[in-house]
A = this chain, B = another copy of it.
Amino acid sequence: MLSKKTKYGIKALIYLSKYEDNAPVQIEAISKSENISRKFLESILLTLRKNGFLGSKKGKGGGYYLIKEPEAIKMSSVMRVLDGPIAMVPCVSLNFYEKCDDCPDENACAVHNLMVEVRDSTLKIFNNKSLADLIK
C-alpha cells in the first residue's frame, strides 16, 4: 500500500512543478488545492526539503519551491524518501536490504526470486518516470 504521506507528497510536488518561476508557494495554498490536512502536509514538505527536493523560505512571502527541474526528479527517489523501500520484501531491496531470519538460502527461496521480478518491473517504471512525465 502506498501511504497517504507519499500520495500527498507527490501531489504537492506536482503542484509546485507548475510554478515554473519557482516562487515560493505557501503550505496553505497546496493544502487547500489538494485537500490535504495542513499540519500533515507541513511535515511532508519538511522531509521533502530535508531530502533535497524542495527549498523553503521563511517569513512573509515565504513558502516552498522546487529545487530541481521536474525532469530531473525521478519517481524512484521520491518513492524511497517518502514510502521507503520499493521492494516488497527487505531481502530483495537494493537500498534497504535486510536478511530474512527464517530463510537459510536466499537464492533457493522461491518467494525471494518472485519478488526480485516484481521489484525489477516496478523499479523500471519508477526509474523512467520523472515528475515532468507525470504532468503530461
Contacts and interface: CB of A to CB of B under 8 A. Distances in A.
Nearest to A121: B121
Interface string A65-103: 000000000010000000001001100000000000111
Interface in A17-31: none
A7 interface: yes
A130 B130 CA distance: 34
Contact of A129 (B7, B11, B114, B134): B114
Interface of A: 1-2, 7-8, 10-11, 14, 34-36, 75, 85, 88-89, 101-103, 110-111, 113-115, 117-118, 121-122, 124-126, 129, 134-135
29 contacts: A1-B85, A1-B88, A1-B89, A2-B115, A7-B89, A7-B111, A8-B102, A10-B110, A10-B111, A10-B114, A11-B111, A14-B110, A34-B102, A35-B101, A35-B103, A36-B102, A75-B114, A110-B135, A111-B134, A113-B134, A114-B125, A114-B129, A118-B122, A118-B125, A118-B126, A121-B121, A121-B122, A121-B125, A122-B122
